[in-house]
Amino acid sequence: MSATIIDGKKISSDIKAELAEEVAELKKTGIEPGLTVVLVGDDPASHVYVKNKEKACELIGIRSVKHQLPADTGQEELLALVDDLNNDDKVDGILVQLPLPEQIDEHAVLLAIDPEKDVDGFHPLNVGKLMIGESVFESCTPSGVIELLKRYDIEISGAHAVVVGRSNIVGKPAAMLLLHNNATVEICHSRTKDLAAETRRADILIAAIGRPKFITADMVKPGAAVIDVGMNRTDEGLCGDVDFEAVKEVASAITPVPGGVGPMTIAILMRNTVAAAKARAAGKK
Ligand code: NDP
């Protein structure tokens, strides 16, 4: 039997529609959430991501401002802009689009963002809050993964979850969120011995590797839910870390690429921006 195809596009639209209603209510109380995106240089993929974020803001009613800086922008100049945005009362969320040009220290920039405006959830303070289960801003992609599981009624509590990948932006936070939702969590990486034996134990398998079609059908337990975070550009177009066509015949539920986890990242970013606006407004009372 073929797996249920998890429709990330639809869930993302649902979340955005829910947020649009919430924002309309907030505006009646004088709160207008605002997101400022900083884009440095001319990376084509980054331009597409930023455009999509602007579109989502417009749909929901979030005020969006873009700062477009040239590729040769210096670190001090970018840090000065971040400082201005930190002190600008109209700005609820600050997002510095990554990657940054090589003359800029990414870590220093992320560290400079006011944690209360860090809607990407990358600041070490927010990473720490995620660890202790006190997140205001959960990192967007991992939080999107959890949302997909929940909205498809996939039982996380008690499930054996295997996360392949241990990056700071996907693998580790995804594992932590699964743990907070009472899964028994295993994290695998490039040094894992006999990866297939580990992935075959997963009731929930999260692939965040960055290698096209790396997870094959023989690595998946029959009936598992498979969430593919991978976004790999190949000659045949965009493809995930999972061999979708073969794995969908084994799994009970699976995300496609594109149209699975990808659209969720922006929806959660929007949710974080609204949360930032509400938290800041509550702090002023
Ligand atoms: P990283 O390159 O930072 O991490 C990849 C992880 O995969 C590492 O932990 C690495 O292990 C592990 N890995 C690599 N090769 C193997 C292997 N042969 N066996 C087991 N583990 C392996 O990638 P990211 O976490 O940033 O991204 C992962 C994927 O998710 C990419 O395709 C990226 O494009 C996509 N992505 C998608 C997003 C979305 O919105 N949908 C958002 C962010 C990322 P080790 O640590 O040992 O090197």
CB 7 within 8 A of CB 262: no
CB 252 within 8 A of CB 4: yes
**Do residues 73 and 180 both lie within one domain?**
no
> How much of the chain exceeds pLDDT 70, in percent?
100
Q: Is the dihedral of CA 261, 262, 266, 267 positive or negative?
A: negative
Q: Is residue 251 part of a domain?
A: yes
pLDDT for 285 = 67
pLDDT for 152 = 98
- Domain membership of residue 208 as a residue range: 140-262
Residue 136: pLDDT band (50, 70, 90) is confident
What pLDDT, in 10s, does the model give residues 244-283?
A: 999 999 999 999 999 999 999 999 999 999 999 999 999 8
**Do residues 171 and 242 both lie within one domain?**
yes
**CATH number for the domain that contains residue 104:** 3.40.50.10860
**Do residues 214 and 177 both lie within one domain?**
yes
Mutate to test the pocket of ligand 1, among 147, 162, 229, 257 (most ligand atoms within 8 A of CB): 229
Residue whose entry in the numeric block shows the structure tokens 């004088």: 30
| CA 15 vs CA 75, 221, 266: distances in Å | 36, 30, 10
Q: Is residue 273 part of a domain?
A: no
**Do residues 240 and 147 both lie within one domain?**
yes
Which of 16, 53, 117, 248 is an active site residue?
Answer: 53
Q: What distance in angstroms lies between residue 172's CA and the mean position of ligand 1's atoms?
A: 11
E strands within 203-269?
A: 204-207, 225-228, 232-234, 237-239, 253-254
E strands within the chain?
A: 4-5, 34-40, 63-69, 93-96, 160-164, 184-188, 204-207, 225-228, 232-234, 237-239, 253-254
75 catalytically annotated = no
Q: Could you identify the atom of ligand 1 that is nearest to the CA of residue 264?
A: 40
Q: What distance in angstroms lies between residue 3's CA and the mean position of ligand 1's atoms?
A: 24
**Do residues 81 and 165 both lie within one domain?**
no
What pLDDT, in 10s, does the model give residues 31-65?
A: 999 999 999 999 998 999 999 999 999 999 999 99
Q: What distance in angstroms lies between residue 7's CA and the mean position of ligand 1's atoms?
A: 22
**Do residues 49 and 96 both lie within one domain?**
yes
- Show Cβ contacts of residue 150 under 8 Å, excluding neighbours closer than 6 positions: 156
Rounded to an integer, what distance in angstroms lies between the CA atom of residue 54 and that of residue 12? 15
**Do residues 190 and 94 both lie within one domain?**
no
- Residue nearest (by alpha carbon) to ligand 1 atom 8: 165
Q: Is residue 102 part of a domain?
A: yes
Q: Could you identify the atom of ligand 1 that is nearest to the CA of residue 170?
A: 25
- Residue nearest (by alpha carbon) to ligand 1 atom 1: 167
Q: Is residue 6 part of a domain?
A: no
Q: Is residue 184 part of a domain?
A: yes
**Do residues 147 and 254 both lie within one domain?**
yes
What crossing angle do the helices spanning 44-60 and 262-284 adopt, rounded to 10°? 50
pLDDT for 135 = 87
What pLDDT, in 10s, does the model give residues 147-177?
A: 999 999 999 999 999 999 999 999 999 999 9
**Helical (H) or strand (E) element with 24:** helix 8-28
Q: What distance in angstroms lies between residue 139's CA and the mean position of ligand 1's atoms?
A: 15
Q: Could you identify the atom of ligand 1 that is nearest to the CA of residue 189?
A: 21
Q: What distance in angstroms lies between residue 17's CA and the mean position of ligand 1's atoms?
A: 30
68 catalytically annotated = no
Q: Which residues line ligand 1 (CB under 6 A)?
A: 141, 164-167, 169-171, 188-192, 195, 208-211, 229-232, 261-262, 265
Residue 230: pLDDT band (50, 70, 90) is very high
CB 140 within 8 A of CB 272: yes
**Do residues 76 and 177 both lie within one domain?**
no
- pLDDT of 93 over the 70 cut: yes
CB 49 within 8 A of CB 63: no
Q: What are the phi and psi torsion angles at 220 (to 5°)?
A: -115, 135
**Do residues 151 and 253 both lie within one domain?**
yes
What is the arithmetic mean of pLDDT over 59-83? 97
Rounded to an integer, what distance in angstroms lies between the CA atom of residue 51 and that of residue 40? 14
**CATH number for the domain that contains residue 257:** 3.40.50.720
In this structure, how many other beta carbons lie within 10 angstroms of the beta carbon of residue 112? Answer: 19
Q: What distance in angstroms lies between residue 68's CA and the mean position of ligand 1's atoms?
A: 28
pLDDT for 283 = 85
- Residue nearest (by alpha carbon) to ligand 1 atom 12: 165
- pTM (2 d.p.): 0.96
The total number of structural domains that make up the chain: 2
**Do residues 81 and 149 both lie within one domain?**
no
Q: Is residue 24 part of a domain?
A: no
Which of 16, 97, 117, 172 is an active site residue?
Answer: 97
Which of 120, 228, 241, 243 is an active site residue?
Answer: 120
pLDDT for 51 = 96
97 catalytically annotated = yes
Q: Is residue 16 part of a domain?
A: no
**Helical (H) or strand (E) element with 278:** helix 262-284
Rounded to an integer, what distance in angstroms lies between the CA atom of residue 268 and that of residue 16? 9
Tokens of 9: 């596009």
Residue 201: pLDDT band (50, 70, 90) is very high
**Do residues 162 and 224 both lie within one domain?**
yes
- pLDDT of 5 over the 80 cut: yes
Q: Is residue 122 part of a domain?
A: no
What is the arithmetic mean of pLDDT over 214-223? 98
Rg (CA), the chain: 19
